[in-house]
Amino acid sequence: MNIKRLILQGEGTTLDFKKTITSTEKIAKSLVAFANNKGGQLLIGVADDGSIKGVKSEDEERYMITKSAHQFCKPAIEPEFEEIYVDDKLVLVVKIAASDTKPHYALDENKKWWVYFRVKDKSILASKIIVDVIKKSNGSSGQLITYTEQEKKLFEYLETQGRITLKEFSKLTRSSYRQAQKILVSLIISGVIRPHTSEKEEYFTQV
């Protein structure tokens, strides 16, 4: 593994840098976010700017990650570890596979369980729609879609506006939030529309 080349890619959907592990709760968010998406790698001993700092105590970091993966993630996650020396500094590579038992939940500081999902370089709290997508995409082998009037209205709206929120879609089709959510979930799973999630809002666009 060429760590320097990997670092040059920068943080993203499948890569996260951690200078050090400071909290089992915080690291649990990253672990479940990777497991709930495409999997990924944590590089411990690498700062946010990509500079290699190295880990002081590899055993301590490994212990905290394992504890977090087993006690602060539900279902538990099994990380794989690899130690790599770069310019005499030790980088601990933690590999998290995409899970087939998702959604995984992380325990926060208030003893509440939440689902997280990886979006670009952030581990984001998953909305109800994303949690539904995660649940239904488990073992999903393609889905046959029959377009109703509601879907047609959605595509016409996206053609002109470019994006839509759940609230806007519900209003547009005069359907309940639950019904609108169900339609969006099936369209996301079938790869027709794409969710865009940030801490402030969630909207949907055509693929």
Each residue of 117-126: pLDDT tens digit? 998 899 999 9
Cα dihedral 61→65→68→70 (10° resolution): -130
Does 39 score more than 80 pLDDT? yes
Would you call 168 helix, strand, or coil by DSSP?
Answer: helix
Q: What is the pTM of this model?
A: 0.86
Tens-place pLDDT, residues 125-147: 999 999 999 988 776 555 556 67
Domains and CATH numbers, the chain: 3-125 (3.30.950.30), 137-206 (1.10.10.10)
Is residue 52 a contact partner of residue 5, using CB atoms and an 8 Å limit? no
The SS3 assignment for 113 reads strand
Q: How many CB atoms lie within 10 A of CB 56?
A: 10
Give percent of the chain with pLDDT exceeding 90: 83
Q: Quick check: 13 pLDDT over 90? A: yes
188 vs 185: CA distance, rounded Å? 5
Mean pLDDT across 146-168: 93
Q: Which amino acid is at 191?
A: G
DSSP 19: S
Q: What is the pLDDT of residue 198?
A: 77
Q: Which of 102, 121, 90, 123 is nearest to 35 (CA)?
A: 102
Query: What type of residue sits at position 55?
Result: V
Say if strands 40-44 and 15-18 run parallel, antiparallel, or are unpaired: parallel
Structure tokens, 103: 């959604």
Paired sense of beta strands 113-119 and 89-96, if any: unpaired
Q: Which distant-in-sequence residues (6+ apart) come within 8 Å of 21 by Cβ?
A: 27, 44, 61, 64, 65, 68
- Mean of the per-residue pLDDT values for the chain? 92
Average pLDDT of the residues in 4-19? 95
Please answer whether residues 66 and 21 qualify as being in contact, where contact means their C-beta atoms are separated by less than 8 angstroms. no
Residue 6 pLDDT greater than 90, yes or no: yes
Tens digit of pLDDT for each residue in 49-84? 999 999 988 899 999 999 999 999 999 999 999 999
